[in-house]
Amino acid sequence: MSVGRPSSFKPEFVEQARKLAQLGATDREAAEFFEVAESTLYLWKHVHPNFSEALKVGKEAADNRVEQSLYRKATGYSFDSEKVFQNAGEIIRAPVVEHIPPSDTAAIFWLKNRRPDAWRDKQDVVHDVTDSMADAIISARKRSGLS
């Protein structure tokens, strides 16, 4: 005997969830799409592993696109485009190569996340005074008459 309402989950939701996540949808937005509470979406993820995996795979694809875009923004890039002019009533299309210069902000963000040991704002400094160092300080103070 089952308790509660029957699940509104449908097998076609698996592919829909993957596509939603691939387009950048959050779990909240996916729940809104399926017209269920976010808690129901979490239950579906638990009960239907293929649904959970579809969301995960879709989110990875979206994250990879953002990562590639951030990298391109950090390093700069060029792309083919065209300029459209009007001369004496005639439309003129001229192919051009446009260049987007590197972004300092994107580069710093990238490096802080990819190489945090070298690029984070706060560096951890270990203050480890060994006995021999302490002895050297005491000795130096005695010689200078400060102790």
10-61 pLDDT, tens digit each: 999 999 999 999 999 999 999 999 999 999 999 999 999 999 999 999 999 9
Question: 52 and 15 in contact (C-beta within 8 Å)?
Answer: no
| pLDDT tens string 112-147 | 988 988 888 876 666 665 667 777 778 878 887 765
Average pLDDT over every residue of 72-81: 96
Q: What is the pTM of this model?
A: 0.62
Please tell me whether residue 6 adopts helix, strand or coil conformation: coil
Identify residue 74 by its one-letter amino acid code: A
Which residues are CB-neighbours of 28 under 8 A, at least 6 positions away? 38
Mean pLDDT of the chain: 89
Which residues are CB-neighbours of 23 under 8 A, at least 6 positions away? 58, 62
Q: How far apart are CA 30 and CA 37, in angstroms?
A: 10
Alpha carbon separation from 83 to 18, 78, 91, 92 (Å, rounded)? 38, 15, 10, 8
* Domain boundaries along the sequence of the chain: 8-59, 76-120
DSSP designation for 137: H
